[in-house]
Amino acid sequence: METLEQIKVRTEAAIAGALLEIIPNDSPSGQRSLLVDPAHAAAVAAFFRDDPQLRLDYASNVTGVDWLDTVLKEKVKVKKLIEGVEKEVEEVVERKRAGYLEAVYHLYSMELKHGPVILRMRTANRSDNVRLPSLTPVWRGCEFQEREIFDLYGIIFDGHPDLRRILMWDGFLDHPMRKDYVEPDDYEYEPTPHDEVLEKMKEHYGQKAGQ
Amino acid sequence: MDEGLRSELSKQGIFTTSIEDLYNWGRKNSVWPLQFGLACCAIEMIATSMARYDLARFGAEVFRPSPRQADLMIVAGTVTKKMAPQVVRLYNQMPEPKYVIAMGACAISGGPFKQGYNVLKGIDRYIPVDVHIPGCPPRPEALLHAFMTLQEKIGKQSLTNQDRPRHLDPAAASEFPVPHFGEHDLEPSSNPDLWRPPSLVRAD
C-alpha cells in the first residue's frame, strides 16, 4: 500500500480544496492517521473507497474521542544572549489548545487486502459546534457506530439516515463518554472501595467518612 | 394435628393432611418460571433446565413465554437502567402468587458494573425478591438450591396468618410502580417502600 504521504498528495490532487493532515503517533504502535477537514470529508471518503489503488471498501471500526481544553508544553530552541555570548537555549513554551471532539474511522480494503488507513475528523469545539458529516452514505456499516458516537459523545452527524440514541434512552440528556460527564450520585456501600470508587465514596458521604 | 397420631394413623393406612399442606404442596411443585434471560446468567439457567441438571425434577420445567402464565421470575443477568422498566412491567403482568429469584451478582447488586452509570444496582430496588443467589454466574447447582429454598418458603407459608401469600391478602400490593426514563437517571431511582439505601454508621 502507498504511504500516508502519497495518499495525502494524491487525494489533495484529486479533490479540489481538500486539506489532509498527517497526525503523528508517538506510541509504540506508531500508527499515524489522516486528519480531514469536515467540509470535504464525504468526497475524500468516496475517493478512498473508489480509487483503484486504495479501494478502502470496509470501515471496520468507528469510534469517538473527547479532547478537553489543554495546555500543551513544547520545547523550543531560542537564541539568547547570555553574558554577552549568543547561545542556543531550550525554552518551554505553553500553548493553549481548545478542546474538540473527534471521530476516528479505521478503513481496510477487502479487495486489495490492505489497511488500515485511519481517518479522523474534528469538530470545531465541544459545546455548540459539534457537527460532522456522516460517512454512512459511503460505508453503510458506519450507521450504528455513528449512532453510538452521537449517543455517548454528542457528535451530530449530518446526512446520517437515522440519527437516534442507540444505547441510552431517548429522553437522556448527557453524553456519558465525555470526560466532563457527571454521573448521578447513587453511590452505594462497598466493603473495599479504591481509586475512583474511593473518590466517589468520599464525595457521597462527605469528607468526614472518608478519613 | 399431633405428629404422633398422624404417624400412628399412617401406619394403619390412613393418610391425613391439612388443607394448608395440600395447597402448598401443589403450589410449590408446579412453579412455572417466566422464560426470559438478560445476560450470561441466562445460559446457566438454560443449562439448569436441560437434561443434566433437570429442573423438571422440581416441577418447574415449563418455562412460560408469557408473564400471564408464569409464577416465578428468574432475573438472570445484568439489569441495565434501560431494561429495568420492562422487567418491572413484566413482573406487574404476572398473576399472583408470584415469586422472584435474583440470579447472579448483577441482578442482586449490579455486580462488576455496580459503580457504573448505566446498570441498576440490584433489581430489589423495584420489585420484591424472594431468593438472592450470588455468583458470577452462579452454577446450575446454585440455581437449584435457590429453587429448593423457594419451595421451602412456599411450603411454610401459612394461608391465614400475617405471612400468607399475597394473593390471599387483598390489602397486599401486587403491582409496583414502573420507573420512568429521566433526563439523567431513572425516576425514581428506587422504590422507597421496598428498598432503602444502606446507611453508614460510625462509632465516632
**How many other β-carbons are positioned within 10 Å of the β-carbon of residue A76?**
10
Q: For residue A58, which amino acid is it? A: Y
Each residue's pLDDT tens digit, A147-160:
999 999 999 999 99
Distance CA A18, CA A34 (A): 12
Beta strands in B7-70 (DSSP E): none
- Among A97, A95, A190, CA closest to B111: A190
Pairing between β-strand B72-76 and β-strand A20-23 as defined by DSSP bridges: unpaired
Q: Is A158 within 8 Å of A133 (Cβ atoms)?
A: yes
Of A87-91, A109-113, B3-7, minimum mean pLDDT range? A87-91
> Which residue among A176, A200, A205 places its CB closest to the CB of B200?
A205
Pairing between β-strand A156-158 and β-strand A131-133 as defined by DSSP bridges: parallel
Q: State whether A200 and B115 contact (CB < 8 Å).
A: yes
Q: Give A210's contacts in chain B (Cβ within 8 Å).
A: none
Q: For residue A208, which amino acid is it? A: K
Q: Does A28 touch chain B (CB under 8 A)?
A: no
Q: What is the mean pLDDT of chain B?
A: 90
Each residue's pLDDT tens digit, A30-78:
899 999 999 999 999 999 999 999 999 999 999 999 999 888 888 888 8
β-partners of residue A108 are: A58
Directed axis angle between helix B140-156 and helix B19-28, to 10°?
160
Rg of chain B in Å (alpha carbons) = 19
Q: What angle do CA A106, A147, A65 make, to 5 degrees?
A: 50
Q: State whether A209 and B185 contact (CB < 8 Å).
A: no
A35 exposure class (CB count in 10 Å sphere: 0-12, 13-18, 19+) = middle
Distance CA B135, CA B142 (A): 8
* Residues above pLDDT 70, as percent of chain B: 99
- Among B68, B39, B9, B33, CA closest to B144: B33
β-partners of residue A20 are: A36
* Residues above pLDDT 90, as percent of chain A: 60
Each residue's pLDDT tens digit, B41-90:
999 999 999 999 999 999 888 899 999 999 999 999 999 999 999 999 99
- Among B114, B104, B129, CA closest to B195: B129
Q: State whether A189 and B118 contact (CB < 8 Å).
A: no
Grid cell 452454577 is found at B139
Q: Does A197 touch chain B (CB under 8 A)?
A: yes
- Tell me whether the omega of the peptide bond preceding residue B97 falls within 30 degrees of 0, making it cis: yes
| Alpha carbon of A45: minimum distance to chain B alpha carbons (Å) | 34
Q: Does A198 touch chain B (CB under 8 A)?
A: no
The set of cell numbers assigned to B13 is 393406612
| Alpha carbon of A104: minimum distance to chain B alpha carbons (Å) | 24
- ipTM score of complex: 0.77
**How many other β-carbons are positioned within 10 Å of the β-carbon of residue A21?**
12
Q: State whether B198 and A200 contact (CB < 8 Å).
A: no
Q: State whether A173 and B198 contact (CB < 8 Å).
A: no
Grid cell 488507513 is found at A117
Cα–Cα distance list, B95 to A126, B34, B70, B137 (Å): 50, 12, 7, 28
| Alpha carbon of A194: minimum distance to chain B alpha carbons (Å) | 11
Tell me, what's the pLDDT at B167?
A: 86
A112 exposure class (CB count in 10 Å sphere: 0-12, 13-18, 19+) = middle
Q: Give B83's contacts in chain A (Cβ within 8 Å).
A: none
> Which residue among B121, B181, B200 places its CB closest to the CB of A186?
B121
Quick check: A8 pLDDT over 60? yes
- Among B104, B87, B108, B95, CA closest to B36: B87
Q: State whether A188 and B114 contact (CB < 8 Å).
A: yes
Q: Give B178's contacts in chain A (Cβ within 8 Å).
A: none
